[in-house]
Structure 1
Amino acid sequence: MPCHNEEVTVEKVVTDLRASVPEMTVYVYDNNSTDRTAERAEAAGAIVRREERKGKGNVVRRAFADIDADVYVMVDGDDTYEASHLPEMIDLLLSGPYDHVLGVRQDTQATSSYRPGHEAGNRMFNRLTGWLFKDSVTDMLSGYRVFSRRFVKSFPAVSKHFEIETELTVHMMSLRIPNVEVPVGFRDRPEGSESKLSTFKDGFRILGLIASLVRHERPSLFYGLLTLFFALVSLGFGLPVVYEFWQTGLVPRLPTAVLAACSMILAFLMLSVGLVLDGLRRERREQARLHYLSLPPAVTTNAHSVPVRTDLAGTRIETEVPRNGVA
């Protein structure tokens, strides 16, 4: 559970989570808090660790590296998600079996729990990401998720801030990881608690990450658009020059002709780069898939029939079933 200045809510979140899954061991990662977040978390029974690099992405990266478990749960410490949905999400992950369960936020209040602009922005990012990566997602910015060990240990975690949810979603789409969505209750922050999310700053960060991921994960699309752009520029400037040459045998606009020729050269260069990077992407994705398959799958036995001990931070669930991929 990543936390930065959440002393108002962290104790209740830890208590609710442990009530929902009594065997759970909760890890709270204190991300440079200046209030009593760490003290309140410890008082509620959580294990507190600290990540000095600011940003939710840095916390998730650290937690996924630190904790070795069969099942992980990630949840925000702002008390906006209903902890009562957690047993259902864990059972679904294990019985599916799935590697990713996404909690899709459903308002539980009469007025919208989203800050102005956030709901519309979330819908836009969902559609844009789904179109770019040829998959569908209902709430890609949700911070309430359950993962298998396969997912966590094959996830590179490059993002530093709130764009981590986007990276998690694209990782799932790129490797075509088995996933399912579950509606979960969502409410506004309690009085005295402030959101750390900046609508425009973090929105542009997410857009930048999407563009970067398209360049890495779909280079044929990214460089194909650049190829089309430079080709159209070349034709737009070059066709009139060619027409004049056809009519008069002269090239009166030499700079324009040079610009058109250079643009076409750039178009072929972008096409070549795209084809090379697409081959490398395919090899990289095959290696990532093989690494993913080398990890044990989620336990397929009904979760209620297997003794469990869970960690949240990653939330951790250890079972009596051996780690050999056989339930």
Structure 2
Amino acid sequence: MTDTDLPRLNIAVLLPCYNEGKSIASVVIGFRKALPSARIYVYDNNSSDDTSSQAAFAGATVVPSRRQGKGNVVRQMFADIEADVYIMADGDGTYDPSAAPRMIDTLLADRADMVVGTRRNVTEDAGRNGHAFGNRLFNKIYRALFGSEFTDIFSGYRAFTRRFAKSFPASSPGFEIETEMSVHASSLRLPVSEIEFDYGRRVEGSESKLSTFRDGFRILRMMGMLMKETKPFVFFSAVSAVLFGTATLLSLPILVEYFETGLVSRMPTWMLAMTLTLGAMMSFTAGVILDSLARSRIEQKRIHYLSIAPARGEGGIGGRMQRTEDDPATYLQDLSRKTGT
């Protein structure tokens, strides 16, 4: 694909950054070369180095983002920017800007709402052994909980339609945002695609902002929260099974003693077992009720998603350049002008 192949496609490149002064200029220049007509935005998340000046010097529009955390920045970017197609990448130089046209090609050809640029060999060498292990572990957990649509849920290199960007709630504050994007697509069963590319290394002197244990815990907590919100029956049934299993283990010796002697010598343990059994029943009931509410929420999200024009190049921003016949009021106005009535 060349840039002239899509004259009506409005593309925005979004780069959330925190202290990426050593690499951001080359990243911006790379995207300007790969997508000459795209608008490039660098959202500076309270950097203490020269990220903003380097990005502006390279030709990007720099926007301050005061609320700390990548998820907060992404929420602001999607709210601020209007475009047909959004390309999101990191400012650390690990993602290849020359792959962006291929991602847009895939987005249009597959009529997808999100294309994820999966990182080749990222689970074998992610800069640190802890990161590599975490990638393998969390991708397996994701596939077990939410589905097998994705092989690299942590990739920050993604292409979106306007429909996805404007329907995505983005509640995560930090690095969990990519996981939330994936769950959003899986729960609404949106069309998604993946393409693989080489994963680069940071420039010398640049440090990763990802903490293996702290952010790993946050991601795991986010997965649990999203599981509770999107699949409450499965979540609360699992809780119910754990409580009931524990109650059974505690009560079996007491029941055996009762049938043999007619006595209950460990009354506190029996009371604890009964309390856990009641908790298991309540948890299961909550799962049944909340499952109906979750289905209703997903239906509402789906309706909102469908109310947004897809704008995969059919028109300008938000589909405003689409055929006038698709808008009855505009069509009647044009018809009146043509007929002189």
Give yes or no for TM over 0.5.
Answer: yes
1:46 corresponds to: 60
- Per-residue CA shift, 1:197-253, capped at 9, x if unaligned? 111111111111111111111111211111111111221122222232223332222
Structure 2 residue corresponding to 1:209, chosen from 213, 218, 222: 222
Give secondary structure in 2 for the equivalent of 1:257.
Answer: helix
Q: Displacement, 1:121?
A: 1.2
Residue matched to 2:164: 151
Q: Distance in 2 between matches of 1:318 and 1:255?
A: 64
**Matched length:** 311
Q: Mapping of 1:70-109 within 5 angstroms? A: 70-106=84-120
Query: Counterparts of 1:297 and 1:211 in 2: how far apart (Å)?
Result: 31
- In 2, Cα distance between equivalents of 1:174 and 1:29: 29
Q: Which has the higher contact order (CA 8 A, sep 6+)?
A: 1
Residue identity in the other structure for 2:165: V
Q: Which residue of 2 aligns with 1:251?
A: 264
| Partner of residue 335, structure 2 | none
CA displacement, residues 40-72 of structure 1 (integer Å, 9 cap, x when unaligned): 111111111011111111100100111122211
What residue number does 1:195 align with? 208
| 8 Å Cα contact 2:23-2:91 kept in structure 1 | yes
Q: Is residue 150 of structure 2 the alignment partner of residue 137 of structure 1?
A: yes
5 Å-filtered alignment, 1:1-327, equals 1-106=15-120, 112=125, 114-299=127-312, 321-322=321-322
4+ residue runs over 4 A deviation: 317-321, 323-326
Residue by residue over 1:120-162, the C-alpha shift from the partner in whole angstroms, topping out at 9 and shown as x without a partner, is 2112111100110123311111110000111111111011111
Q: TM-score, normalised by structure 2?
A: 0.86
| In 1: Cα distance, 2:270 partner to 2:27 partner | 66
Return closer, same or farther for 1:226/1:325 CA change in 2, 3 Å cut-off. farther
- Do 1:41 and 1:48's aligned partners in 2 also have CA atoms closer than 8 Å? yes
Counterpart Cα distance in 2 of 1:319 and 1:92: 19
**Residues 85 and 312 of structure 2 are in contact (CA less than 8 Å); yes or no, is this contact kept in structure 1?**
no
Distance 2:20 2:116 in 1: 23
Q: Is the 8 A contact 1:99 1:298 kept in 2?
A: no
C-alpha distance in structure 1 between counterparts of 2:266 and 2:198, whole Å: 66
Q: What are the superposed Cα offsets for residues 77-117 of structure 1, whole Å, 9 maximum, x if unpaired?
A: 00111111101111211222100000011269xx9453222
Letter in 2 for 1:227: S
The alignment's TM-score, normalised by the length of structure 1, stands at 0.89
State the distance in 1 between where 2:325 and 2:291 align: 32
Equivalent in the alignment of 1:313: none
Q: Secondary structure at the match of 2:42?
A: strand
| Alpha carbons 1:226, 1:270 under 8 Å: kept | yes
Larger CA deviation: 133-142 vs 121-130: 133-142
- The root-mean-square deviation of aligned C-alpha atoms, in Å, is 2.2
- Work out whether residues 98 and 298 of structure 1, in 8 Å CA contact, stay in contact via their aligned partners in 2: no
Maintained 8 Å contact 1:113/1:187 = no
CA distance in 2, matches of 1:150, 1:107: 31
Q: Is the contact made by 1:26 and 1:47 (CA closer than 8 Å) also made in structure 2? A: yes
Residues 272 and 323 of structure 1, relative CA distance in 2, 3 Å threshold:
farther
- Tell me how far apart the structure 2 counterparts of residues 59 and 159 of structure 1 sit (CA, whole Å): 10
Distance 2:118 2:323 in 1: 30
Cα distance change on mapping 1:267 and 1:107 into 2, 3 Å: closer
* Deviation sequence 1:178-210 (CA, Å, 0-9, x none): 000001221110112111111111111111111
Unaligned runs of 5+ in 1: 309-316
Partner Cα distance (2:321, 2:46) in 1: 37
Per mean C-alpha deviation after superposition, the further-off stretch among 25-34 and 212-221 is: 212-221
State whether residues 163 and 308 of structure 2, in contact with CA within 8 Å, keep that contact through their aligned partners in structure 1: yes
Structure-1 separation of matches of 2:325 and 2:90: 30
Aligned pair in 2 of structure 1 residues 319, 267: CA closer, same or farther (>3 Å)?
closer
Structure 2: runs of 5 or more not aligned: 1-14, 327-341
Once the two structures are aligned, what percentage of the paired residues are identical?
46
